[in-house]
Amino acid sequence: MTRIVFLDRSTIGPSVILNKPNFPHEWVDHDRTRPDQVVERLTGADIAVCNKVPIRRDSIEKLPDLKMICIPATGYDAFDIDACRERGIVVSNVRGYATNTVPEHTFALILALRRGLVGYRQDVIDGEWQKADQFCFFTHPINDLAGSTIGIMGEGVLGQGVARLAQAFGMRVLFAAHKGVEGLGPLYTPFEQVLEESDVITLHCPLMPSTRNMIAGPEFAAMKRRPLLINCARGGLVDEAALVAALDKGQIAGAGFDCLTSEPPKPDNPLLAVLDRPNVIVTPHTAWASDEAMQTLWDQVILHIDNFQAGKPSNQVT
């Protein structure tokens, strides 16, 4: 009987209906798995379901029965794809499940920062409004989105979804050409121009060697309009120490991040020291996690497992 092991069940919310494959199987759930538990827990498994637990070459070499890894996410940098390919292990990921939730979360961050909501909420909590001698007061900047420019880095389905919302708000939309790449065509704006002209910059690209720390000190220095910087893509796209320095220097107006380089953040992460600022919002990697999106994601996981078992693998990374 096919043995299926889910290494990190806790990465899927409790509201999701966890349907199971349609063929005879044994299913084993583990809420969390440490890297040093991977081999023990996958020994004898035919299929691994795993979101963020790394499965590297040294583990793969000790798992002769493993035939498939199904990732309930789009990113697959936690897995040794070359080692899987050499072994003939099928790796399938999930795509297109977050087409609403990530753009909506992106704009929740943009609106909260652009309208000063975090600072004003705290003012009311602290009693500042109650002490005011008029019906309102102005302790934080408030700006409209209409007529402003948004620079989108990443032109896939999520970047396109953000663009549609931006257009509904009356924003000018720029899709950034890939950093250091020329000749992508008229639909793209040069990377450097996007840095200079945007009032909001939002990241929706994968983490690869070419995109790691794509926004760092030189890029912040080039941001002439003091934009908001939003990251609902991947940690590692932004140099976080340089981000805090840019906030201190006033090179950007604020930051809204849903992804950090290390998750959960380590105590020395520089962003943790500025969380009390009204122009900084950090959410715990939940942009993808609406109930609707998670259910769509899980339904795709089961579809890919069923397809693999039927000899028709889908959404293959390898």
- In 3D space, the residue among 299, 205, 294, 202 whose CA is nearest the CA of residue 252 turns out to be 202
Q: Which of 114, 204, 285, 304 is catalytic?
A: 285
The DSSP element (H or E) to which 243 belongs, if any, is: helix 240-249
For residue 21, cis peptide bond before it (omega within 30 degrees of 0): no
Catalytic member of 114, 234, 240, 304: 234
- Would you call 239 helix, strand, or coil by DSSP? coil
Q: Which two tokens stand for residue 232?
A: 């609902």
Rounded Cα gap, residues 82 and 110, in angstroms: 38
Task: Give yes or no for a contact between 39 and 62, defined as CB atoms under 8 angstroms apart.
Answer: yes
Catalytic, 285? Answer: yes
Rg (CA), the chain: 22
Give me the sheet containing 254-257, strands edge to edge: 172-175, 149-153, 200-203, 228-231, 254-257, 280-282
List 40, 61, 86, 263, catalytic entry: 263
Q: Give the distance, in angstroms, between the CA of residue 279 and the centroid of all CA atoms in the same chain.
A: 20
Distance in angstroms (rounded) separating the CA atoms of residues 124 and 6: 45
Provide the annotated active-site residues.
234, 263, 285
